[in-house]
């Protein structure tokens, strides 16, 4: 089973700051997903990246998949309190197999 | 309308009791899942059903028994609850077993005393 490492584990910043969180593996990802889980709610899928070097943008969020498909990053520009939550990366392996989640990064944005 | 719903949202019970958690999805999806999120927020799959057929069964104690009466429902029954079962349990669904877009329910917070 592939081990996904996320860093940092916890991040507390002021509103308006930029931040980057990371997801790394020792093996090549088939494809990678990023989820956000708000307090008291279930995870919500933000993006799926498949191709090495791929960059996707979702408003103030920029997702990057490493060229070698062994790492990914999520950059948030001008963070807002509404961005507070747990950010999870997950590998989506072959057809019919299970998602494997990283341990997550807890983000707190203070106003 | 809620896409994936779970009941109850909170469940507090004594060790040794038997309890059930229910899940329903109104998305018309074929595949449903149960996940467990521990106190460190680590999310791990327990079971997956595709059209009422069990397709993923992780290393879970046999005190946990999923049941899918139809493809819109996946319930989780837990016998002889233990302290270590305390966690948040999430139900999720996807269009089919090859679709990685999963929709999660709001979770059931189980506390075993």
Query: How many C-beta atoms surround the C-beta of residue A11 within 10 A?
Result: 18
Question: Within chain B, which residues score under 50 in pLDDT?
Answer: none
B47: phi > 0 → left, psi -120 to 50 → alpha, else beta; which?
beta
Q: What pLDDT score was predicted for residue B36?
A: 96
**Range name among A70-74, A78-82, A94-98, B81-85 with the lowest pLDDT average:** A94-98
Q: Pick A31's closest partner by Cβ from B42, B100, B103.
A: B100
Task: Please check whether residue B98 touches A, CB under 8 A.
Answer: yes
**Range name among A17-26, A80-89, B94-103 with the lowest pLDDT average:** B94-103
What is the rounded distance in angstroms from the CA atom of residue A20 to the CA atom of residue A8?
9
Q: Pick B40's closest partner by Cβ from A31, A48, A103.
A: A103
State the number of CA atoms in the 13 A half-sphere of A77 facing the CB: 7
A59: phi > 0 → left, psi -120 to 50 → alpha, else beta; which?
left
Q: What pLDDT score was predicted for residue A29?
A: 85
**Residue in chain B nearest A91 by alpha carbon:** B100
* Max intra-chain CA distance, chain B: 39
Q: Is the pLDDT of residue A96 over 80?
A: no
At residue B72, the 3 state secondary structure works out as coil
Domain range B4-112, CATH architecture: Sandwich (2.60)
Rounded to the nearest angstrom, the minimum Cα separation between B99 and chain A is 8
Q: Is the pLDDT of residue A13 over 70?
A: yes
Mean pLDDT of the region A28-36: 92
Query: Are the beta carbons of B102 and A45 separated by less than 8 Å?
Result: yes
Mean pLDDT (chain A) is: 93
Q: What pLDDT score was predicted for residue A64?
A: 97
Q: Is the pLDDT of residue A2 over 70?
A: no
Q: Is the pLDDT of residue A108 over 90?
A: yes
pLDDT band at A1 (very low <50, low <70, confident <90, very high): low
Query: Are the beta carbons of A98 and B41 separated by less than 8 Å?
Result: no
Q: Among 2.60.40.10, 3.40.228.10, 3.30.910.20, 3.30.420.40, name the CATH number for the domain at A4-110.
A: 2.60.40.10
| Residue B4, token pair as written in the block | 């994936």
Q: Is the pLDDT of residue A95 over 70?
A: no
Residue bearing tokens 């089919």: B96
* Strand pairing report for A105-110 and A10-14: parallel
Mean pLDDT of the region A70-75: 96
At residue B83, the 3 state secondary structure works out as helix
| Residue B102, token pair as written in the block | 């999963």
Closest C-alpha to A81, from A38, A51, A30: A38
The string of DSSP codes covering chain A is -PPEEEE-SEEEEETT--EEEEEEESS--S-EEEEEE-TTS--EEEEEE-STT-EEEETTEEEEE-TTSSEEEEEESS--GGG-EEEEEEE--STTPPPEE---EEEEEE-
């Amino acid at each position: 089973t592939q081990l996904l490492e996320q860093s940092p584990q916890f991040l507390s910043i002021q509103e308006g700051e930029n931040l980057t969180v990371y997801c790394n593996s020792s093996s090549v990802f088939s494809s990678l997903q990023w989820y956000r889980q708000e307090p008291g709610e279930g995870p919500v899928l933000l993006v799926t990246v498949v191709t090495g070097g791929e960059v996707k943008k979702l408003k103030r969020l920029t997702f990057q998949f490493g060229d070698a498909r062994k790492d990914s990053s999520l950059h948030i520009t001008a963070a807002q309190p509404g961005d507070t939550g747990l950010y999870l990366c997950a590998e989506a392996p072959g057809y019919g197999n299970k998602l494997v989640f990283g341990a997550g990064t807890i983000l707190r944005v203070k106003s | 309308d809620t896409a994936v719903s779970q009941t109850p949202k909170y469940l507090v019970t004594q060790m040794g009791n038997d309890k059930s958690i229910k899940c329903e999805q109104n998305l018309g999806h074929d595949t449903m899942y149960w996940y467990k999120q521990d106190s460190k927020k680590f999310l791990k799959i327990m079971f997956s059903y595709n059209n009422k057929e069990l397709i993923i069964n992780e290393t879970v104690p046999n005190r946990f028994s999923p049941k899918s009466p139809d493809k819109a429902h996946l319930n989780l029954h837990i016998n002889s609850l233990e302290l270590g079962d305390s966690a948040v349990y999430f139900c999720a669904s996807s269009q089919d077993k090859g679709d990685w877009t999963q929709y999660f329910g709001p979770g059931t917070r189980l506390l075993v005393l």
